[in-house]
Amino acid sequence: MTILDDIFAYKRTELVKRKQARPLTDVQAEAARAAPPRDFVAALRESSSRPALIAEVKRASPSRGLLVEDFDPLRLARTYQKNGAAAISVLTDEHFFQGHLDDLRAIREEVDLPLLRKDFVFDPYQVYEARAAGVDAVLLIVAMLSDEELHTLHRLARELGMMALIEVHDEAELRRALALRPRLIGVNNRDLGTFAVDLATTERLRPFVPPDVTLVAESGIHTAADVDRLVRIGADAMLVGESLVVAEDTGAKVRQLVRPYMRIKLCGITTRQDGLAAVDAGADMLGFNFYPRSKRYIPPEKCVRIVSALAQYTARVQLVGVFVNATRAEIEAIADDCHLDLVQLSGDEPPEFLQALGPPTLKGIRPASLEEAQADAARFARPASPALLVDAYRPGEYGGTGHTSDWALAQKLAEQYPILLAGGLNPDNVAAAVAQVHPWGVDVASGVESSPGRKDAAKMKAFVQAART
C-alpha cells in the first residue's frame, strides 16, 4: 500500500466519527449562514505577482514529521498576507498533518485573503464542512477519487460558490480533470505514492492545460531559482508550504518568492491574427480602438467577430475598448456587444461621465506638467488597478502619436497611483521605462507594428520579454 492508500483508509474511518458527532443537516445549516465566498481564481489572476503565491499554513507532514515547534497558524497567515501572498492554503487534516478546521476558522476571522481547505476530500460532508468554516476553495485529488466522485464534489463546490483546486500528477489524471471543465488545476510535483518531488512534472503537463484554466504548481518550490523556472514554464500560481513554515524569517522568504508582475496592454488590435499573436506573446490586456479618426480604428462589428474568435483566451486577458468623446449610449452598447472588461476614455470626458458609465472605466490623461498631472489624478483616479493611463502630451491629439511620454512626471504619479504607462514605448526602451517609472503596467500600439494598425508578432514578443525583464 502507498502512503496515499494509508491516509485514505484512515480518513474514511475518521469521517464516520465526524458525522456521528455532528449531523450533516447541522453542517449544511451553518454553511448556508456563512459569508459569501471570495473569488479564489480572481485573487490569483489579479495578484501583483506572477506566479501568484498560495502560501500554506502547515504544522507537520508524513514525510518530515513536525516542521515547527512554536506553531501559530494565525500569526503565520498574517505574515503571509502582509508580505504579498495572493491566497492562503490551510491544512486541516488532524492525524497526518496535525492541522485542524479551527485553525482555518481563526484565520478566516482575521485575514482577508481567499482560503483553500487542504485536506483529503472525498465526501460531500467535507465540502459543506469547508463552506461552514468560511472556505473559498477546496482541494480535490484526482488520484483518490472516481470520476463520479470528482463530478459530484466539483459540482457541489461550485453550487456553494466555491472553487475546486483539481490536483493531478500525470497525463491520465489531467485528462480526467479536464473533463470537469475546471477553472483551476493544480499539478503536484510530489508523487503521493513515493513522496519524491520533481518540478519537471509541472513542466511536462503545462502544454496540455488550456489557456482559460488557471494552473497552480504545487510542492518542491523552495528558492528564487525554482520560481524563475515556474515563470519560464508559464505557471499562473504556486502553492508553497514547507519552505515558508521552516524559514528563519518567514516574511523575508515570502518576499523572496513573490515577484512583481508587469501587466502589458497591446493596443490597437484590428485583426484576429494580431489578437492571437498578442495573446501568444503574453499580453494581459488587448486594446480595441473605437475612435474613428484613429489609424487603428476598428468597427464594432469587426471587434465582435475577433472577440468571438478569441473566446477560449478571454478568461486570461482583459478586453479594453478605447473611446474618445463618444456618447454614453454608444460606449455602453459597444462594451456589451464586444464583452469589454474595461472602458478607456482618452478624450475630454469629465469625471461625472466616468461615474455614470455602466462598465468599469479607466481615464487616459496627457498632462503637460506635473501640476496638471496631479490635478488630473485627483479628478479621475479610481480606487482600482490601474487607476489611470498616462500618455504623452501632444496639443490637440488624443494619444496614439508614437511620441514618448514624460517618464519623470509618470514616476511621480506612480508613487501614488497604480498607473498604466503609454506613449512611445517599444521593445528597445520599455525596460528603461519600467525601471524608472515602476508602473502597474505598460501600454503599446505603434511601437510593435509593421504598419499602422498591423502588429508585428516578433516585436510584440520582444516587447513583452523586455517589459518583464
Query: Which residues are catalytic, by number?
Result: 267, 391
- CA nearest to 341, candidates 377, 277, 384, 294: 384
Is the bond into 367 cis (omega within 30 degrees of 0)?
no
DSSP state of 144: G
DSSP assignment letter at 312:
G
In the chain, % helix, strand, coil (3-state, to 5) comes to 45, 20, 40
Which three cell numbers, joined as nine digits, stand for 288?
A: 480595441
Identify whether the C-beta of residue 351 lies closer than 8 Å to the C-beta of residue 425.
Answer: no
DSSP string, 408-464: HHHHHHHTTS-EEE-SS--TTTHHHHHHHH--SEEEESGGGEEETTEE-HHHHHHHH
- Strand 60-61 to 441-444 pairing: unpaired
Cβ contacts of 148 within 8 Å, gap of 6 or more:
none
What is the residue-wise DSSP string for 359-391?
S-EEEEE--SSHHHHHHHHHHH--SSSS-EEE-
CA distance 105 to 88: 13
Give SS3 for 292. coil
- CA 364 centroid distance within chain: 24
In a 3-state reduction of DSSP, which class is residue 200?
helix
